[in-house]
A = this chain, B = another copy of it.
Amino acid sequence: MAAPYELIYYTGVPGRAEHIRLALEEAGAAYTDTGSLGSFDQVRKAVTKYLTERKPEEEENPPYFAPPMFKHGDLIISQTPNILLYLGPKLGLAGSREGDVYRVNALALTALDGLSNEVHDSHHPIAVDMYYEDQKEESKRRSQEWIKTRLPKHLGYWERALTSDDSGPWLLGSTFTYADLVLFHCLDGTLFAFPKAMEHAEKSGKYNHVFKHWENVKARPNIAAYLASDKRQKYDWGIYRYYPDNDVVLE
């Protein structure tokens, strides 16, 4: 019997693990998810217990810095893009040409850097361990600068990426990969965090392939079913947060 896929992550927001859930859901793969075990405290206990009670044969894995973690047999690994890299070929979501795993990984890392980490830092520019309220002014300033200089740079890059291979609508042309899922969720979260700025970007007409890509991924049958289910958690206090003061339109 094959080892099960086990996702180890907190609950309450989609969080960094969402990229991994989307890949598993797209492929229709069976998996367990500590995030669906119950209340926040129950889940936190499960995540902690899971990690402190490793079996001897699992101990060849280095310690982890932060969830998500992923367990498959004796292998336990951390870091979202690393887990996707591991799962990608197994789920048929990492392309098929020689070198595609590296092309897909580069795209995933670029999306996570630009439209996940940078968006997170917009509400925590001074310190991740401090409350937003204690860095509100800096957060506003950072968000405005981000919307002015970085958002167009990122959207422009993805527009170029989506038009560089005209064999199909995906980042690798006709081949759908997990990089498309990562880009989708990054755009989805940025739409939640900065709805006015993103609407303004959409209306500019400069990024038509980007917004169309978001719609195309959302409409894939397994993704649409997952997003409509109660497994899809709501945005709240996680990476993507909506603070009206930060969401500006710059002409």
Give the segment of A28-36, A124-132, A222-230 that binds chain B: A124-132
Size category of the binding interface on chain A = 35 or more
A128–B146 Cα distance when bound, in Å, is 9
Give A81's nearest chain B residue, CB to CB. Answer: B109
Give A107-135 as 1s and 0s: 1 = Cβ < 8 Å from B's Cβ atoms.
Answer: 10110011001000100011111100000
Q: Nearest chain B CB to A74's CB is how many angstroms away?
A: 8
Report copies per complex: 2
Which has the most chain B C-beta neighbours within 10 Å: A82, A99, A117, A141?
A82
Of residues 126 through 172 on chain A, the ones whose CB sits less than 8 Å from some CB of chain B are: 126-130, 138, 141-142, 145-146, 149-150, 157, 160-161, 164-165, 171-172
Query: B114 near A65 (CB under 8 angstroms)?
Result: yes
Give A128's nearest chain B residue, CB to CB. Answer: B150
The yes or no answer to A208 lying at the interface (CB within 8 A) is no
A145–B138 Cα distance when bound, in Å, is 14
Which residues of B sit under 8 angstroms from A171, Cβ to Cβ? 62
Q: Nearest chain B CB to A166's CB is how many angstroms away?
A: 11
The yes or no answer to A79 lying at the interface (CB within 8 A) is yes
Query: A127 near B146 (CB under 8 angstroms)?
Result: yes
Which residues of B sit under 8 angstroms from A55, Cβ to Cβ? none
Q: Which residue of B64, B160, B172 contacts A63 across the interface (Cβ within 8 Å)?
A: B160
Which residues of B sit under 8 angstroms from A142, Cβ to Cβ? 125-127
Query: A172 near B62 (CB under 8 angstroms)?
Result: yes
A172–B59 Cα distance when bound, in Å, is 11
Q: Which residue of B78, B128, B130, B149 contacts A106 across the interface (Cβ within 8 Å)?
A: B78
Of residues 56 through 90 on chain A, the ones whose CB sits less than 8 Å from some CB of chain B are: 59-65, 75, 77-79, 81-82, 85-86
The yes or no answer to A44 lying at the interface (CB within 8 A) is no
Which residues of B sit under 8 angstroms from A79, Cβ to Cβ? 105-106, 109-110
Q: Which residue of B85, B103, B126, B164 contacts A102 across the interface (Cβ within 8 Å)?
A: B85
The yes or no answer to A97 lying at the interface (CB within 8 A) is yes
Query: B110 near A65 (CB under 8 angstroms)?
Result: yes
User: Which positions in A face B, CB cutoff 8 Å?
Assistant: 59-65, 75, 77-79, 81-82, 85-86, 97-99, 102-103, 105-107, 109-110, 113-114, 117, 121, 125-130, 138, 141-142, 145-146, 149-150, 157, 160-161, 164-165, 171-172
